[in-house]
Amino acid sequence: MAPLRKLLSRLDAERIILTLAPAFLAVSTATINVAYYEVHGPTLHALMLLSLIWLYLRWRRGQPLERGRTGSLLSAIFLAYALIAVLAAGMAGFNTDALNRLEHFSYFLAGALLIPFLVAARIRPLWLWSAVAAAALLSGLYAFWEVQTLGPAFEQTTGMSYRAGGSKRKQIPFGDIATLAAVLSGLAACVYYPRRRILSVLFLLAALGGSYASFASGTRSAWLFFPTGILVIALYLMQQYPAQRRQLFAGLAALFLVAGIALVQSDQIRDRFAMAVSELADYANGDGVQPGNSLGERFEMWRGAWMAYQAHPWLGIGVGQLNSHFKEVADRGLISQAIVAFNQGEGHTHAHNDYIHTLATRGLVGLGSLLLLYLVPLGVFARTALARHDPELRGIGYAGILTILAYMQFSLTDSILLMRITAGYFVLLTCWLLAMSLAGSRAESL
């Protein structure tokens, strides 16, 4: 045992952990849609454990963290978001529903630790771009396999179009993640085009794969992010090539025109939007919300959640308590019974809108923490995008902007920060991008 202890004492554990970080980040990012349980989850949790061990080693040696004021503020925001949820759960007496829902907030607690850890890791941007492109491409391949293998039997049995859902069989988070990965891959193609053309082409192919996965998922809210993503990428190109702004404007207009023509040719896309119009009309006509009317059910959930907020405006009714609230107001005839009939009578557990759900369960205090979680990182990314001259670092800033805007937009129609898959991915991508922004900004200023 003595020789083993002597060997271990010579190893630089901090350096080993920091060396392993890029691989864990990349693998977890790339496999989220295709091997969630088998690969993504274990590697993400291992990364969080490594960050905790690294912080302990720094503390034991009395070494300060190199994160600066901005890094400390960002860690505090992630920490506050998690702690306010704990406080709101306490208001509900930490019952079983509250404790079950609190598990999802552990990712944000881990995010407070990941930021200084990833700043110290000094990870090259190409790791991120390659991981995101792999996520997009693998999502496209998995969606193609699903549609070809599982689709025919499903359509024959139900008469409905098959929607790809990834390894978790969850169409909405699968579509959201594939869309974001596709748009980020498109940005990567623009960042590397002037210097590494072959790599740029590979990123473009990955963007096409992610786009296919998005459309195969049938996730309408995700599709609406494509125009946002194209506009942000256009802003990056205009900043990089100010002399070619006219050509870029013309290219942008042509892209929207071609995309619009392509979209109207797709039977699946036309059917999904026609269904949305029909659902809106049924709800507006006051015919009652029938189970399966996804937009109508959302409107009813928003109404029910708003009632919860009005009764408890500061800290809400408590984390995990919305399901029982829906059942109560449905029994009183205040919202449709379709909300509690969902999932064989289990009922909906969240409001399908992060902002309204937060108001209902964590009140105005919780909404403030959610807005800080989105807006402060967005400000950091915008500063990186606008103030940095290095194209790769500027691209990281724009990638961060796209990530935050995507989640802000997805949060309008679903409670994506309450799902393990999308909450974990938000923490993973945002902390990684923030760390590279902070580390790159510090290096460029030296």
The pLDDT tens digits for 169-190 are 999 999 999 999 999 999 999 9
Q: What pLDDT, on the 0 to 100 scale, is given for residue 286? A: 41
Secondary structure (3-state) at 411: coil
Q: What pLDDT, on the 0 to 100 scale, is given for residue 250? A: 75
pLDDT band at 285 (very low <50, low <70, confident <90, very high): very low
pLDDT band at 418 (very low <50, low <70, confident <90, very high): very high
* Angle of helix 171-192 versus helix 125-149 axis, rounded to 10: 140
In a domain, 8, yes or no: no
Note the pTM of the prediction, 2 decimals.
Answer: 0.94
Q: What pLDDT, on the 0 to 100 scale, is given for residue 110? A: 96
Q: What pLDDT, on the 0 to 100 scale, is given for residue 379? A: 97
Full domain range(s) for residue 174: 17-60+67-272+352-445
Q: Which percentage of the chain shows pLDDT scores above 90? A: 66
In a domain, 12, yes or no: no
Count of other CB atoms within 10 angstroms of residue 193: 17
In Å, how far are 78, 213, 443 from 71, measured between CA atoms? Answer: 11, 35, 15
Q: What pLDDT, on the 0 to 100 scale, is given for residue 13? A: 85
Provide mean pLDDT across the span 238-244.
Answer: 84
Residue (of 81, 112, 85) closest to 100 by Cα position: 85
In a domain, 382, yes or no: yes
How far is C-alpha 368 from the chain's CA centre? 19
Asked if residue 441 has pLDDT above 70, the reply is: no
Asked if residue 430 has pLDDT above 90, the reply is: yes
For the chain, what is the mean pLDDT? 89
In a domain, 333, yes or no: no
Q: What pLDDT, on the 0 to 100 scale, is given for residue 439? A: 87
Instruction: Tell me which H or E stretch contains 403.
Output: helix 391-410
| Count of domains forming the chain | 1
Provide mean pLDDT across the span 345-371.
Answer: 95
Q: What pLDDT, on the 0 to 100 scale, is given for residue 442? A: 58
Q: pLDDT of 322-356, one tens digit each?
A: 999 999 999 998 888 889 888 888 889 999 999 99
pLDDT band at 244 (very low <50, low <70, confident <90, very high): confident
Provide mean pLDDT across the span 294-314.
Answer: 92
Q: pLDDT of 18-62, one tens digit each?
A: 999 999 999 999 999 999 999 999 999 999 999 999 999 888 888
Judge contact between 166 and 175, C-beta under 8 A. no
Q: What is the DSSP letter of 39?
A: I
In a domain, 434, yes or no: yes
Residue (of 305, 311, 361, 411) closest to 84 by Cα position: 361
Residue (of 216, 225, 231) closest to 179 by Cα position: 225
In a domain, 88, yes or no: yes
Q: pLDDT of 249-273, one tens digit each?
A: 677 677 667 666 666 666 666 677 7
Count of other CB atoms within 10 angstroms of residue 5: 9
Asked if residue 232 has pLDDT above 50, the reply is: yes
Secondary structure (3-state) at 355: helix
Tell me the Ramachandran region of residue 104: left when phi exceeds 0, alpha when psi lies from -120 to 50, beta otherwise. Answer: alpha
In a domain, 294, yes or no: no
pLDDT band at 8 (very low <50, low <70, confident <90, very high): very low
**C-alpha to C-alpha distance for 74 and 355, rounded to whole angstroms:** 20
**C-alpha to C-alpha distance for 389 and 384, rounded to whole angstroms:** 9
Count of other CB atoms within 10 angstroms of residue 299: 18
Provide mean pLDDT across the span 182-203.
Answer: 93
Residue 171 exposure: Cα atoms within 13 Å on the Cβ side: 14
pLDDT band at 12 (very low <50, low <70, confident <90, very high): confident
In a domain, 346, yes or no: no
Judge contact between 425 and 111, C-beta under 8 A. no
Q: What is the 3-state secondary structure (H, E, C) of 177-191?
A: HHHHHHHHHHHHHHH
**C-alpha to C-alpha distance for 246 and 243, rounded to whole angstroms:** 8
